């Protein structure tokens, strides 16, 4: 895809039409000539990245590179994508080689959380657009850095909060803004799963299929252990960010979107690692609250090891107002009045299975279609990084409140913690030398 001044001015005129189609629930997919195809590389393809790579190919991008430090994941995803597009993608270990390719338009990142911001920065510096899986950083500072970097480099950075591209969610949130439930003042988010113990790991030889040095990347070096790669890194602070950033991002984002709030003024958290006695460092049970200066509150309830549903849903959000309630999830919404009578619903059958850790489904296709349109300049991204950062910051603040066992007071213009040196000590992280996240 080439960008010229002529093309840019055409694109700006076309953007309003594309947006209104999205609002009506139709994904705008105008015909594009081959030179308009968006050339992508996907980084981290063991699980979510495999889902994304196949979705990008299905939705019409050219997936040129499949990048992973696990040789087995590369081979499997190259084969899956080759079934969906005429050109076989190139499998590589180091995603930076893909960034060297001038024909590459976008990097898609589904590596572990400690890689999200550093890889995005490298991609932006190389002039590429980025589809970034949540969370938008391993820590609060990284979100701030990414917002700055996106402004500086002017590329599209879409966060992987796919419910932002749900026509039902877009519709009901517009209705909430129009007074559907009176004045909304409270929003509740939840996620429940029945995850197993990760046990006690032991030092082990690095498997032959893994480049562990590049897997660690920006994180300070630690010897290889046998219960971290893959997926379990989610529950170690060194690489992961816990359930609140893992699944809370999606549901807290819906709450913040529905209430129309940005940065909080007060954050609390209770919970712990209750269910198993093992290496898992984050909470498996957490209740966090976020108060906003306008008088609204969001709560998050995360249960990683006891999957009993809430509102018959393993994941979701409910928005409460002066005249009623909206319960919404990836499948749609139901509206209730104050007497608990159902007064409206809009459901499209999308899976809401909280146990599906790959996030599969049509919302991912829609979210990617929106990203590709935004890269072409034909739509506004539904989950731009500056908005995503505001949601992510709530999740990081929830963790910081939990880890410092206190109430956080925040500047509601920036989200920064005030008068609490200990809590601000968790704002960023230590990096492997040479990998500090800065613009």
Ligand X SMILES: NC(=O)c1ccc[n+]([C@@H]2O[C@H](COP(=O)([O-])OP(=O)(O)OC[C@H]3O[C@@H](n4cnc5c(N)ncnc54)[C@H](O)[C@@H]3O)[C@@H](O)[C@H]2O)c1
Going across the sheet that includes 106-109, the strands are 90-92, 62-67, 39-43, 106-109, 129-132, 157-159
Identify the residue among 91, 112, 137, 271 touching ligand X (CB under 6 A): 112
Cβ distance to ligand X smaller for residue 1 or 74: 74
> Out of 133, 253, 291, 301, which residue is the one contacting ligand X (CB under 6 A)?
133
131 part of the interface to ligand X, by CB under 6 A: no
Residue of 193, 246, 283, 352 interacting with ligand X (CB under 6 A): 246
Is 251 one of the binding residues for ligand X (CB under 6 A)?
no
H/E/C letters for each residue in 354-383?
CCCCCCCCHHHHHHHHHHHHHHCCCCCCCC
Residue of 41, 68, 141, 176 that binds ligand X (CB under 6 A)? 68
Out of 1, 27, 39, 48, the residue judged to bind ligand X by CB under 6 A = 48
Give the orientation angle of helix 362-375 with respect to helix 48-59, to 10 degrees: 60
- SS (HEC) of 40-109: EEEECCCCHHHHHHHHHHHHCCEEEEEECCEHHHHHHHHHHHHCCCCCCCEEECCHHHHHCCCCCCEEEE
Distance CA 168, CA 228 (A): 37
Q: Would you say 115 or 292 has its CB closer to ligand X?
A: 115
SS3 content of the chain, % helix, strand, coil (to 5): 35, 20, 45
Is position 95 an interface residue for ligand X (rule: CB under 6 A)?
Answer: yes
Query: Which of the residues 182 through 221 are near ligand X (CB under 6 A)?
Result: 214-215, 217
The pair of three-digit structure tokens given for residue 386, joined into one six-digit string: 């500056």
Distance of CA 120 to the CA centre of its chain: 13
For residue 244, which phi and psi values (nearest 5 degrees)?
A: -65, -35
For ligand X, the nearest residue by Cβ is 359
Please report, as residue ranges, which positions from 342 to 401 form the binding site for ligand X (by CB under 6 A). Answer: 357-359
Closer by beta carbon to ligand X, 55 or else 170: 55
Q: How many CA within 13 A on the CB side of residue 395?
A: 33
Residue 301 as a binder of ligand X (CB under 6 A): the answer is: no
- List the x/- string, 15-34, binding to ligand X by CB under 6 A: --------------------
* Chosen residue from 81, 99, 105, 113 binding ligand X by CB under 6 A: 113
Q: Is 420 in the site for ligand X (CB under 6 A)?
A: no
Name the residue nearer to ligand X (CB basis): 292 or 300: 300
Stretch binding ligand X (CB under 6 A), from 47-55, 58-66, 81-89, 339-347: 47-55
Strand order in 285-291's β-sheet? 342-347, 332-337, 324-329, 315-321, 184-192, 297-303, 285-291, 266-272, 408-409
Question: Quick one: angle between helices 5-23 and 167-177, nearest 10?
Answer: 80
Q: Which residue has the tokens 């040095």?
A: 213
> Packing angle between helix 71-82 and helix 48-59, nearest 10 degrees?
20
When asked if residue 96 is in the footprint of ligand X (CB under 6 A), the reply is: no
Q: Which C-beta is closer to ligand X: that of 297 or that of 391?
A: 391
Q: Which stretch binds ligand X (CB under 6 A): 43-51, 121-129, 267-275, 426-434?
A: 43-51
Q: Does residue 110 touch ligand X according to CB under 6 A?
A: yes
Among 230, 238, 266, 416, binds ligand X (CB under 6 A): 230
| Closer to ligand X by Cβ: residue 280 or 336 | 280
Q: Which of 1, 39, 49, 258 binds ligand X (CB under 6 A)?
A: 49
Q: Which residues bind ligand X (CB under 6 A)?
A: 43-49, 67-70, 73, 95, 110-113, 115, 133-134, 160, 162, 214-215, 217, 230-231, 246, 357-359
């Amino acid at each position: 895809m080439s960008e010229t001044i002529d093309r840019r001015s055409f694109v700006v005129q076309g953007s309003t039409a594309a947006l209104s189609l999205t609002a009506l629930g139709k994904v705008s997919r105008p015909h594009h000539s081959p030179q308009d195809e968006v050339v992508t590389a996907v980084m981290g393809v063991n699980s979510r990245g495999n889902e994304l790579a196949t979705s990008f190919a299905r939705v019409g991008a050219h997936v040129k590179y499949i990048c992973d430090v696990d040789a087995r994941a590369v081979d499997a995803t190259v084969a899956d994508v080759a079934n969906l597009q005429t050109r076989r993608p190139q499998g590589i270990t180091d995603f930076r080689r893909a960034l060297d390719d001038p024909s590459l338009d976008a990097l898609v990142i589904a590596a572990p959380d400690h890689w999200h911001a550093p890889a995005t920065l490298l991609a932006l510096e190389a002039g590429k657009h980025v589809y970034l899986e949540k969370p938008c950083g391993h820590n609060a500072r990284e979100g701030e850095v990414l917002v700055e970097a996106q402004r500086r480099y002017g590329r599209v950075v879409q966060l992987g909060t796919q419910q932002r591209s749900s026509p039902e969610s877009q519709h009901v949130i517009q209705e909430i803004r129009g007074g559907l439930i009176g004045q909304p003042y409270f929003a509740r988010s939840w996620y429940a799963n029945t995850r197993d113990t990760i046990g006690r790991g032991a030092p082990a030889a690095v498997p032959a299929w893994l480049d562990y040095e590049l897997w660690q990347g920006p994180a300070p070096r630690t010897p290889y252990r046998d219960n971290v790669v893959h997926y379990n890194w989610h529950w170690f602070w060194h690489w992961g960010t816990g359930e609140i950033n893992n699944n809370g991002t999606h549901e807290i984002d819906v709450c913040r979107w529905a209430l129309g709030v940005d940065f909080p003024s007060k954050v609390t958290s209770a919970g712990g690692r209750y269910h198993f006695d093992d290496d898992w460092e984050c909470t498996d049970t957490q209740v966090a609250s976020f108060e906003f200066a306008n008088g609204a509150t969001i709560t998050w309830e995360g249960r990683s090891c006891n999957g009993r549903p809430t509102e018959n849903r393993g994941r979701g959000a409910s928005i409460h107002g002066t005249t009623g309630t909206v319960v919404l999830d990836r499948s749609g919404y139901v509206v209730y009045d104050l007497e608990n009578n159902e007064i409206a619903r809009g459901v499209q059958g999308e899976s809401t299975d909280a146990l599906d850790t790959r996030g599969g489904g049509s919302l991912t296709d829609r979210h990617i279609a929106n990203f590709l349109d935004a890269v072409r300049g034909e739509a506004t991204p539904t989950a731009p990084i500056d908005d995503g950062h505001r949601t992510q910051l709530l999740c990081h603040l929830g963790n910081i409140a939990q880890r410092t066992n206190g109430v956080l007071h925040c500047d509601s213009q920036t989200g920064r913690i005030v008068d609490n040196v200990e809590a601000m000590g968790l704002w960023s992280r230590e990096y492997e030398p040479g990998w500090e996240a800065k613009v």
